Amino acid sequence: MLKALLARAHQGHRTTAYPDGEPPALPERFRGAPTLDPSRCPEGCRSCADVCPTDAIGGDGSLSLDLGRCLFCTECVTACPEGAIAFTNDYRLATRRREELVARGQELALADALERNLRRLFGRSLKLRVVSAGDCNACSADVNVLGTIGWDLGRFGINYVASPRHADGLLITGPVTENMRLALQKTYDAVAPPKIVIAVGACAISGGPYAGHPEQHGGAASVVPVDLFIPGCPPHPLTILDGLLRLLGRIEDGSRAVSSRTA
């Protein structure tokens, strides 16, 4: 018992001060929101689009990057001879609408809060049932980590619950495999309305690397309506937390400018 008390003293208080204080430091090589500078693209160049594993880069004449498909792998950065694509360490990526995940070098709209009546219901207490539907366990792990003392999701009244009957909504990871489609549908049906759905990770948004495979359905939206998209492969816990807090209206700074660096 004495050792347990000593350990408690040594280990200290480790919960991040975020969002009231600074977020935890991200590593220098962390890849968050991209910056795109279409003005640098040579005529007809498709170097970046050709190497993208998930075809996230639009080759329709204007440079665009779909964060819902992006694996943040930097193949495009390496392939671009002109430095038109770069990844910043901005961890804020979540949006409310699928199309808002497509970056074109303009401002990216960040997730806005739930409408008033839902905020009144969920703003101080949001219980989520997590459903893994073909994820590789990386998204699950970084969703799960928010429950540890480092992040302490409970501070915000957000908890993961054991039953859809206890839940206000679902948090879905994975591309929704054919073998999980029915279970996901049943789980969704078991949540009492009004309910919300959060899709976490490239797989749950677009199918990720598995897009197009007959064994899966290309993301959560194929089965249930999605209210919040949190991109990444997997998203950093900070990205997930930022998205959840924006949804509940606890962080409000509408959109952000993505700097288009000029040469």
Partner 1 sequence: MTAGAATRNGRALALKDVPSLEPSHFRGWLVNALRDKGKRLVSYFGSAADSSSGPAAEGISLVAVLADDANGRLSVARTNCDGTAFASLVPETAQPHLFEREIAEQYGVRFEGHPWLKPVRYHHSYRPAHDAWGRPADATILPGVTDFFRVEGDEVHEVAVGPVHAGVIEPGHFRFQCHGEEVFHLEIALGYQHRGVERSVVGGPTKRTLPYMETVAGDTTIGHALAYAQAVEALAGMPVSARAHAIRGIALELERLANHVGDLGALAGDVAYLPTAAYCGRLRGDFLNMTAEICGSRFGRGLVRPGGIGFDLLPAQVEILRSRVAVARREVTEAVELLWETPSVRERFDRTGTVTPEDAEALGLVGPAARACGIQRDVRHDFPSGIFRFVHLPVMTAHHGDVNSRAYVRWLEIRQSISFILDQLDGLPPGGPGAAAGVMRPDSLVVSLTEGWRGEICHVATTDAAGRFSRYKITDPSFHNWIGLALALRGGQISDFPLCNKSFNLSYCGHDL
Residues of this chain that bind partner 1 (CB under 8 A) = 3-4, 7-8, 10-11, 14, 26-31, 51-54, 71-75, 129-145, 147-150, 160, 162-164, 174-175, 177-180, 182-183, 187, 208-210, 213-216, 233-234, 236-237
Q: Residue 190 half-sphere exposure, CB side, CA atoms within 13 Å?
A: 16
Whole-number minimum distance, CB 7 to partner 1, in Å? 5
Who's near 114: CB < 8 A, 6+ residues apart? 122, 123, 196, 227, 247, 248, 249
Whole-number minimum distance, CB 249 to partner 1, in Å? 25
E strand map for 106-239:
108-109, 126-132, 158-160, 169-173, 196-200, 228-230
Residue ranges of alpha helices (H) inside 136-206 are 138-144, 178-190, 202-206
Q: Which is nearer to partner 1, 99 or 178 (CB)?
A: 178
Q: Which is nearer to partner 1, 118 or 202 (CB)?
A: 202
Q: Which is nearer to partner 1, 118 or 170 (CB)?
A: 170
Q: Which is nearer to partner 1, 74 or 222 (CB)?
A: 74
Whole-number minimum distance, CB 175 to partner 1, in Å? 7
Q: Which is nearer to partner 1, 62 or 183 (CB)?
A: 183
* Neighbouring-strand partners of residue 64: 58
Whole-number minimum distance, CB 254 to partner 1, in Å? 28
| Token pair for 196 | 């919300």
Whole-number minimum distance, CB 70 to partner 1, in Å? 11
Helix (H/G/I), strand (E/B), else coil: 102: strand
Torsion of CA 174, 178, 179, 181, to 10 degrees: 70
